[in-house]
Amino acid sequence: MSVLLSVQDLRAYYGQVQALHGLSFDLNEGSMTTLLGANGAGKTTTLRSICNMVRSTGTIQFEGKPLGGKSTENIVRLGIAHVPQGRGTFTTLTVEENLQLGAISRKDTKAIAGDIERMYSHFPVLKQRHTQQAGTLSGGEQQMLAVARALMLRPRLMLLDEPSFGLAPLIVRDLFNILGKINREDKVSILVVEQNAQLALEIADKAYVIETGRIVMSGNAQEIANDESVRKSYLGY
């Protein structure tokens, strides 16, 4: 399995405050990887650094090419989609308009209508609501729309920041099942930052545990889930 994203000695800063202290990890093509850690550990900053949204040093390579110095917009064009925490849909636009906006940088305009239908097959509730303003959707539906809009880019890699935040457990499980399907069927590699460690470890194949800006543990998700210190700290048993 080839390496899609390689991060070496990543250090990130907010003003004078250093948030990441030399993170290194690889993400394989086609993988579902999760980054676990407590609030303030540096998980969100890691995703933001990949997209060049914070000041950072170190090397980040995507498909063997360095991302350093590239604008966030150009990183997106390379095929990296970022779904930040808090959904971020265009609330006054309809569901379908949100999906169309997700494809705004694409040249293959003829394929867009087909991709919208594919999103509706992944997320049937969005099809039912396609003419509704995004702001009138429930939290779970807005999160599904945010994911679907990111997928309209046809990304190679999707970065998801706390997709379960503020959602009811049943909705979260639905969402994660769909993410697993997208990973397998659409061959989209996914890096998910998640507080719900138990669920993230169930669907991921690889996991990294981050504490105060450093990776303290890595391995396949099953091994991490069975580790006693992880169980006590993140799984609560």
Q: What is the pLDDT of residue 136?
A: 95
Residue 97: Cβ-neighbour burial (10 angstroms; 0-12, 13-18, 19+): middle
∠ CA 179-162-230, nearest 5°, is 95
Neighbours of 10 (CB within 10 A): 23
Concatenate the DSSP letters of all residues of 164-205 into one string. Answer: TTT--HHHHHHHHHHHHHHHHHS--EEEEE-S-HHHHHHH-S
Collect all residues with Cβ–Cβ distance below 8 Å to 200 and sequence separation of at least 6: 34, 36, 176, 192, 194, 207, 221
Largest Cα–Cα separation, the chain: 52
Between CA 229 and CA 227 the distance in angstroms is: 6
∠ CA 130-145-186, nearest 5°, is 105
- The mean pLDDT of 46-53, rounded to a whole number, is 96
Whether the per-residue pLDDT at 237 is higher than 80: the answer is: no
Q: How confident is the model at residue 105 (pLDDT cuts 50, 70, 90)?
A: confident
Q: What is the pLDDT of residue 233?
A: 85
- The mean pLDDT of 68-80, rounded to a whole number, is 92
Q: Which two tokens stand for residue 230?
A: 């992880």
Q: What is the pLDDT of residue 236?
A: 73
Identity at 183, one-letter amino acid code? N
% of the chain beyond a pLDDT of 70: 99
Q: How confident is the model at residue 217 (pLDDT cuts 50, 70, 90)?
A: very high
Asked whether the beta carbons of 29 and 1 are under 8 A apart, the reply is: yes
Q: How confident is the model at residue 42 (pLDDT cuts 50, 70, 90)?
A: very high
Q: What is the mean pLDDT of the chain?
A: 93
Whether the per-residue pLDDT at 87 is higher than 80: the answer is: no
Indicate the domain borders of the chain.
Answer: 3-90+154-235
As a dihedral over the C-alpha atoms of residue 154, residue 75, residue 187, residue 12, rounded to 10 degrees, the angle is -140
Asked whether the beta carbons of 234 and 228 are under 8 A apart, the reply is: no
Neighbours of 227 (CB within 10 A): 17
- The mean pLDDT of 166-178, rounded to a whole number, is 90
Tell me, which fold does domain 3-90+154-235 have in CATH? Rossmann fold (3.40.50)
- The mean pLDDT of 76-85, rounded to a whole number, is 92
Q: In this predicted model, what pLDDT tens digit does every residue of 202-215 receive, in sequence order?
A: 999 999 999 999 99
- The mean pLDDT of 197-224, rounded to a whole number, is 94
Q: In this predicted model, what pLDDT tens digit does every residue of 134-165 receive, in sequence order?
A: 999 999 999 999 999 999 999 999 999 999 98
Predicted TM-score (pTM) of the model is: 0.92
